Amino acid sequence: MNWDWDYAWDIVPDLWDGMLVALQATLYGYVLALVLGLGLALLRRSPTRWVTVPVTLVSELIRCTPLLVQLFVMFYLLPSIGISWEPLTVGALTLGIHYATYVSEVYRSGIDGVPVGQWEAATALNLPRRRVWTSLILPQAVPRVIPALGNYLLAMFKDTPQLIAITVVEVFSTARELNSETFRTLEPFTVAGVFYLVVALVMSGLLRLVERRFGRVRSM
């Protein structure tokens, strides 16, 4: 099949609309993963086993099952008990919950990397627990894990094609629709692949800038 430049340029707007949907799902899902992941990491440090055990079990269950299965459960099974959302909302929620379990481990490693002397100093000064976390521990832990958090952003973005399983019209599903309409395979999937590559490279560059700006641990 020969490459048709006219057709390739004609389908760019449709594919870009799909890319915007993929970026929306990634952005919403990533914000949720960062917040929920931090919550999970803190809950797993609770001295109460009634908290740590259920949180650990749920986290392992999510980590050990495929994202695609979780998408089907969220989109096709939850409506049977009266819980239903728009496909894009389900996709962002599932991505966020799925990656939150991985992000929580990243946060945990950063927290464990804070020198023991910092904890001992906080105890000696009798600082309030909230201030210990917000002013001492997290400002040292988060910069340590920024590179790993950035990697999960890229991984989440590359997982957005799986949202086709729940009828989210992102760039890959748009390419499939164009292929089924015109029976031309080369142009839709090539342009879609170029979009993924360019956006991923831009994300990678921005993450490096963030890492250089915020990735240094402040001395306490």
Residue 10 in any domain: the answer is no
Q: What is the pLDDT of residue 142?
A: 86
Residue 1: inside a domain, yes or no? no
170: domain CATH number is 1.10.3720.10
- Would the CA dihedral through 82, 85, 86, 87 be positive or negative? negative
In a domain, 146, yes or no: yes
Task: Kindly state whether residue 220 falls inside one of the protein's structural domains.
Answer: no
| Number of structural domains found in the chain | 1
**Is it the case that residue 20 has pLDDT exceeding 70?**
yes
Give me the percent of the chain exceeding a pLDDT of 70. 97
Report the distance separating Cα 153 and Cα 194, nearest Å.
Answer: 19
Q: What is the pLDDT of residue 206?
A: 93
Looking at the domain assignment, is residue 9 inside a domain?
A: no
The pLDDT tens digits for 115-158 are 888 777 777 777 787 888 878 888 888 888 999 999 999 999 99
pLDDT average, residue stretch 20-28: 96
Range of the domain at 204: 15-214
191: closest CA among 25, 1, 5, 2?
5
The tokens of 81 are what?
């008990």
Q: Residue 215: pLDDT band by 50, 70, 90 thresholds?
A: low
Let me know if residue 3 belongs to a domain: no
Q: What per-residue confidence (pLDDT) applies to 127?
A: 76
pLDDT value of residue 37: 95
Does a structural domain hold residue 8? no
- Domain assignment present for residue 164? The answer is yes
Q: How far is CA 161 from CA 28, 178, 204, 219, in A?
A: 16, 15, 19, 42
**Rounded percentage of the chain residues whose pLDDT exceeds 90:** 65
Q: Name the DSSP class of 166.
A: G
